Chains A and B, each alone.
Chain A
Amino acid sequence: MKNIIRNIIFIASIGLIFFGGFRGEIGTVFNKAANICLECIGIG
């Protein structure tokens, strides 16, 4: 049973990565990560 759950999650997570990428989420991640995050450094 555990193995089935594991395999489903494995496949689903790859699917989610592609789906998120397809929706354009990677651009949002890039915008955040390529600019200094004021909240992270404690002045935002």
Chain B
Amino acid sequence: MANNNKKRHFVQLLSSIAVNGNFKGFFNGRIYTGKTKKICVPILNCYSCPGALGACPIGSLQAVIGSIKYNISYYVLGFMSLIGVMFGRLVCGWLCPFGFIQDLLYKIPTKFKLTVSKKANNILKYLKYAVFIIFVLILPMTLRDQFGMSDPYFCKYICPAGTLEAGIPLTLLNKSLRSAIGFLFNWKVLLLITIVILSISVYRVFCRYICPLGAFYSLFNSISFYKIKVDKDKCINCNACTNNCKMNIEVYKKPNSAECIRCGDCIKSCPTGAIKSGIFIDNERFKTKKVNSYNAKLGKSSNS
């Protein structure tokens, strides 16, 4: 499993660099203005980050909704649905820089690693849907100024990715922006610090309870082309998968849970190779190598 995480973190690192490849922005304090900014990236990566080469879908959705011309964005919702229906939350586990940062924060050793109780988790997990509906859709659609435009309320009052990736670097690099800092900036920094501290103790706290993009993708986990499948014939109910899932999912019962970020830890931890993931895995026969070796360890014949 350590190997799986190494591989995953390497992919996350590559993805974070690839979507933030405008390196000179980090020196001159300017954002990229090239044509790729028309295209959404599939993850929560702020378009005002000096390195960003693409557009954040959640920011873009609010921008289109809040413009004079439109009150919904088919382009962004279509893009998000396409990613969701193809991969579900696979992008959360493998590509998103803000997810990667939370993974790294959780590696900091502390005595206070918290497991959120099942009861609390079952309530808190709905918060992210409320954030999506209220801050990304309803407020930008309804709270408009006299010109018919509205603010991106999630970006303005909540998004810690915007503060970390754009707010902090740009105010450090740009004197005029620094001079405009006020209450709102301090509020957003306070929120960011809270999420950073919580992320050291609670795995992926922002992804689990707040992120509107994760909320949207989670709706597709059960139907997406990419799937996780448990072979009931091979599963010996040992619970190794569930014990190794940091998102507290009972994998053998609900392998495509809305909360699953498809990190693959459960797959690597299964002693019989009963869990598999991929696109079009429905009709594929699982390999028997792992189950045979497990049975051999127990002194059984694999055919018994």
Contacts and interface: CB of A to CB of B under 8 A. Distances in A.
Given A9-B81, A33-B60, A28 B167 contact: no
A33 B155 contact: no
Given A10-B82, A33-B38, A40 B64 contact: no
Contact of A37 (B47, B67, B181): B47
B123 interface: no
B48 A15 contact: no
Interface in A1-28: 2, 5-6, 9-10, 12-21, 23-28
Contacts, number: 161
Contact of B78 (A5, A15, A27, A33): A15
B42 interface: no
B184 interface: yes
B31 interface: yes
Contacts of A29: 37-38, 40, 55, 60, 63-64, 73, 75-76
For chain A, which range describes its interface: under 10, 10 to 19, 20 to 34, or 35 or more residues? 35 or more
- Binding site secondary structure of chain A: helix
A37 B59 contact: yes
Interface residues of B, number: 58
Interface stretch (B193-201, B207-215, B219-227): B219-227
Interface stretch (B156-164, B237-245, B285-293): B156-164
Given A9-B81, A24-B69, A28-B70, A37 B38 contact: no
Given A28-B69, A44-B156, A6 B81 contact: no
Given A2-B223, A27-B38, A43-B182, 10 more contacts: A9-B81, A13-B78, A17-B79, A20-B74, A23-B70, A25-B70, A35-B33, A37-B162, A40-B59, A41-B171
10 contacts: A10-B85, A17-B79, A24-B69, A29-B37, A39-B151, A40-B59, A40-B152, A40-B156, A41-B167, A43-B184
Which 9 pairs, one residue from A and one from B, show the smallest C-beta to C-beta distance?
A: A20-B75, A16-B78, A20-B74, A40-B162, A32-B63, A13-B81, A39-B156, A42-B185, A41-B167
Interface of B: 31-35, 37-38, 40, 46-48, 52, 54-56, 59-60, 63-64, 67, 69-70, 73-79, 81-82, 85-86, 151-152, 155-156, 159, 162-163, 166-167, 170-171, 177, 180-182, 184-185, 187-189, 220, 222-225
Interface of A: 2, 5-6, 9-10, 12-21, 23-37, 39-44
